[in-house]
């Protein structure tokens, strides 16, 4: 790696990190403003700042591609305006050499992004959710009017609340026989995970149902065997987009095994696969706008170019994703299409620079 390559990599990284810091500050200010509306009781400024600190890794992961684009536009633009790019090319560094150096910076950003997104953000996001609801004196309620519904073989399980450590409250279990007739209806006030697919249900009321009779029972506690584990249930408190690949893969397998729809979680899974590629594409797009544009273009104009590109990509990505969910299209295909379209446009623009 020659001196010019190292210089470009360092400058692009510095510019991207500055852009990331500014965007993080902006997003956290918006979040802070929203959280102030919920202040009260045990949820004060201390808890809000703690909540912001815990959600920052998730925001960091999502902002890396946009920061890479803005940072590279700013740095490469400054190099162009200061005639540095001309000097580099006169010294023997080709356009492709400059782009390759920018891509090396992208590799560093992508590695950092993946490490934060896979090992830090999922954990801190769950902690943030727990801090918020605990300070407000609440439990983690489902985002659905009638709770979370899961299917496990012939059993249909309705969970209304997830409490600390993945334990459950207000649990309903409905079991069917071979003829698809309801044979058991059970309600438990609490379910505590004991490990090895074992749960302890407490304060249980159940009804055994048959053609001949219905028998009601009430017991204080009993063991319940289920493949549902707390790590799957934590997903209800966090957006799928903030989960690790491993969490998403586990939950997708669980849904498929129980013949349930998994498109939304599959799409989130493939979105995380694509995210590092988006960082490279954003950097690749920035090169033609700097090297191919005349010198003297202001910083504001370059930033506007970056914002327009980033927003356009984000809008197209969301539209394609929603179309995939509506029409049940292939999640991998829907995740890759926007990135591949942008990649083709970026490669075409780079090829025009070579002419």
Tokens in use for 283?
């950097």
pLDDT in tens, 123-166: 898 788 778 766 765 544 444 445 677 788 788 888 877 765 66
Q: What is the mean pLDDT of residues 89-102?
A: 86
DSSP string, 37-59: TT-BTTB-HHHHHHHHHHHHHHH
Contacts of 347-350 spanning 24+ positions with Cβ under 8 A:
347/284, 349/285, 349/287, 349/288, 349/292, 350/95, 350/96, 350/99, 350/284, 350/287, 350/288
What does CATH list as the number for 154-226? 2.60.450.10
Tokens in use for 325?
């969910």
Instruction: Give the closest residue to 38 by CA, choosing from 30, 48, 28.
Output: 48
pLDDT in tens, 320-343: 988 888 888 889 999 999 999 888
Q: Parse the chain into domains and list their residue ranges.
A: 3-136+263-354, 154-226
β-sheet bridge partners, residue 155: 152, 175
What pLDDT is stored for residue 349 in this prediction?
A: 78
Q: Provide the H-helix boundaries in 217-298.
A: 230-233, 245-257, 263-291
The residues near 325 (Cβ < 8 Å, ≥ 6 apart) are 263, 264, 267
β-sheet bridge partners, residue 195: 198
Residues 11, 308: Cα–Cα separation, whole Å: 23
Instruction: Output 95 or 296, whichever has higher pLDDT.
Output: 95
pTM: 0.74
Instruction: Output 203 or 154, whichever has higher pLDDT.
Output: 203
Instruction: Output 230 or 170, whichever has higher pLDDT.
Output: 170
State the CB neighbour count (10 A cutoff) for residue 214. 9
Beta strands in 24-146 (DSSP E): 140-141
Tell me if 218 sits within 8 A of 188, measured CB to CB. no
């Amino acid at each position: 790696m020659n001196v010019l390559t190292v210089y470009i990599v360092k400058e692009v990284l510095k510019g991207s990190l500055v852009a990331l810091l500014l965007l993080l500050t902006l997003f956290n200010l918006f979040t802070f403003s929203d959280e102030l509306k919920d202040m009260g009781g045990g949820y004060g400024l201390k808890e809000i700042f703690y909540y912001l600190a815990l959600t920052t890794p998730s925001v960091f992961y999502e902002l890396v591609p946009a920061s890479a684009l803005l940072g590279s536009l700013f740095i490469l633009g400054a190099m162009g305006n200061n005639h540095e790019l001309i000097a580099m090319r006169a010294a023997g560094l080709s356009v492709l050499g400059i782009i390759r150096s920018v891509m090396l910076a992208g590799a560093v950003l992508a590695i950092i992004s993946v490490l934060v997104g896979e090992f830090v953000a999922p954990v801190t996001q769950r902690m943030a959710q727990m801090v918020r609801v605990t300070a407000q004196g609440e439990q983690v309620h489902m985002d659905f009017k009638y709770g979370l519904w899961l299917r496990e073989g012939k059993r249909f399980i309705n969970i209304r609340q997830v409490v600390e450590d993945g334990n459950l409250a207000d649990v309903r279990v409905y079991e069917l026989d071979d003829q698809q007739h309801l044979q058991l209806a059970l309600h438990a006030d609490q379910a505590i995970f004991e490990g090895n697919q074992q749960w302890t249900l407490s304060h249980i009321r159940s009804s055994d149902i048959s053609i001949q009779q219905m028998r009601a029972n009430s017991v204080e506690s009993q063991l319940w065997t289920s493949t549902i584990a707390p790590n799957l249930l934590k997903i209800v408190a966090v957006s799928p987009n903030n989960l690790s690949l491993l969490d998403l893969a586990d939950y997708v397998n669980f849904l498929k095994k129980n013949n349930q729809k998994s498109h939304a979680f599959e799409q989130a899974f493939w979105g995380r696969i694509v995210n590092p590629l988006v960082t490279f594409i954003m950097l690749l797009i920035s090169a033609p706008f700097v090297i191919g544009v005349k010198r003297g273009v202001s910083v504001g104009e370059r930033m506007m170019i970056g914002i327009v590109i980033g927003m356009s990509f984000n809008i197209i990505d969301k539209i394609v994703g929603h179309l995939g969910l509506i029409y049940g299209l292939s999640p991998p295909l829907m995740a890759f299409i926007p990135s591949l379209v942008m990649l083709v446009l970026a490669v075409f623009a780079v090829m025009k620079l070579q002419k």
